Every structure is written in C-alpha cells, then in structure tokens.
Amino acid sequence: MRRLSALDLFSNNSIKSRRTLSVCATKHQLHNIKTHIEMGAEQYRPPLFSVAPMMEWTDKHYRTVARIISKHAWLYTEMLAAETIVYQQGNLDRFLAFPSEQHPIVLQIGGNNLDNIAKATQLANAYGFDEINLNCGCPSAKVAGHGCFGARLMLDPKFVSEAMSVIAANTDVPVSVKCRIGVDDHDSYNELCDFIYKVSSLSPTKHFIIHSRKAMLNGISPADNRRIPPLKYEYYYALLRDFPDLRFTINGGIDCVDEVNAALREGAHGVMVGRAAYNNLWNTLAHVDSAVYGEPSSGLTRRQVLEQYQVYGDAVLGTYGNNRPNMRELIRVH
C-alpha cells in the first residue's frame, strides 16, 4: 500500500478558516441524558454527537479513520437493506463485520418486509452492534420509490411500529428510528406528532433521530432533498416539549462543533452531523471528545492518524477477494 500524504486523507477543507469552539458541554447537559440504556449501550458515553449513516460514505474504512480521531462519537453504518443481509448469509462479514475499536456503533437497516427485517436483525446480532436503527428518512427514488421504504414509511406509522417491535423482539440492544419531519404534503407538525405517537406507543421505540427537513418524493434528487426543503428546527424542539418521555436527536444543517454545542445548550438530547463529518473530517471530529464530551482529545497529529490508518489499510487490502477492498476504496476517505 503506497504511503499517502496528509492531503490525501484530509481534504483542503481543513485549511478553511476555523470557527472558535464554544465551551464544552456542561455537566448539567450531560446530567440531562437520563440513562445510557435509552439511547445506547450502557458502557459508552451517551450519543451527544453522532455521525449520520450515509450510503457509500460511512463504510468501515471511513469509520476506522473517524474512530482514530474521536473515541466518543457514535458511528453509524451505511444503510443496509434487510434483504441484502438475508440473501448474503454466506458473505456477511463483508457487510457487517467491523473492528472492535469502532464501538459505539449503530447498524441502520432498511426494508418493508417484516420477515426479512426479523431475519436480518437475528443475523446481525452476532456482530455486536450497540443499537439497531430503522431508516424512515431516505428520500432517494431507489429506496423510497422502487424500494417502498425509507422516507415513504413515514406514511405508514402502523407498519413502522410493527417493524420496530419485530426488531426489538429479535435483539437485546436498543432500537431507534431515523426519520424526516414529513413527506411531500404530509408535513404538518400534527402529522409528525401522529407518527411519533403511534410508533412510540405501539412499539418499544423511545429514541428518534429527526432530520429537520421534510422529504420530497416527487423526483428531486437526494442532494436536493438536503437543500431545497427548508429546515424547521422548531418542529424538533416542539417534540422535546410534547414528548418528554422520549429521546430525540437533531439532524440536518449542523456543520460544526460550535453548532452542536449550541443545539445541546438549547436542550437537544443529541446531535447528528452528516456531510460535514465526511467532507471536513479533521476539523469536525478532532474536537468532539474535548468540546462536546469534556474528555481529553486523542492528541494525535494528522500524520499520526494517517500512519494508524495505513496500518489498517495494509491489513485489509484485498481481504474480501477479487482485490476488494482495493486501493481506491481505501483512499477515498477524506
């Protein structure tokens, strides 16, 4: 494996002007997280900061770099369709295996078939994920259109409650839902409340990750779905008021640790960061442990992170057969 330069691993976003970090999350904020069990495995710090599941981005290679930089950020897999897990039983390591250092880690699955969701959950148990999340927010035509899951599931809260009950019945770890604030014209706050109420009352789900935009399933791209629908953070904060027994993580439009801590000070139970945690990896994650969790940072330089990642790359290069993973897959991490 060729030796990579720091510029290969950390994009030129890192030389952009940095915003001054806000003060660390206070002890009072940490105390407001009632238990670790409700929002994650008990032995880890609560998910005040998590990296969003992103297709073709948050693979195990990206997560390896992310974990070298931050020891406390919660990491999510890419969304895996339940059918993929079920039909790839002979090749599950490729999809589900991860180094133990990647804990705490959440498996996100997608699907609309209860039998396959149950089987996928059972198969995933052996890998030791810390939480299982159901995707009810992806707006892509492949998922929400032809696949009839993702964001489209918000239109069927009864099915989502059944799916969450099936997942919970087949695992011992916490379960959660990631969703939008609405879909197409079904975007009122009352309709969002109806979805949250039905899913939480008809299933064991107590944790919801709320992407604070609605999904538009009328043909616009996933990228436009992250840009065109307006952010409505007021919906998120209203959920905190109206469902005090549930836990909510805010997602959408939050791009730096300053903004993470601002949301926590406003009362957010947790904050999920998406593209910024990939496109601006170093500047985003290097400050999470100290600025969000009040813990010492790793103290690693970028070169040291790069050297540790090279050890990982050398170990996994070609291990799936057919030259997978290959060099291109390993160095696309920003």
| 274 annotated to bind ligand | yes
| 222 annotated to bind ligand | no
Q: Do 117 and 149 meet the contact criterion of CB atoms below 8 Å apart?
A: no
Q: Do 54 and 332 meet the contact criterion of CB atoms below 8 Å apart?
A: no
- First vs last Cα of the chain: how many Å apart? 17
| 128 annotated to bind ligand | no
| 227 annotated to bind ligand | no
| 1 annotated to bind ligand | no
Tokens of 62: 């990206």
> Is 138 tagged catalytic?
yes
| 270 annotated to bind ligand | no
| 269 annotated to bind ligand | no
| 251 annotated to bind ligand | yes
| 294 annotated to bind ligand | no
Q: Under 8 Å CB-to-CB from 277, ≥6 apart: which residues?
A: 51, 52, 66, 284, 285
Among candidate residues 138, 148, 193, 256, the one labeled active-site is 138
Catalytic residue ranges: 138
Residue stretches of the annotated binding site: 53-55, 108, 178, 211, 251-253, 274-275
Residue stretches of the annotated binding site for FMN: 53-55, 108, 178, 211, 251-253, 274-275
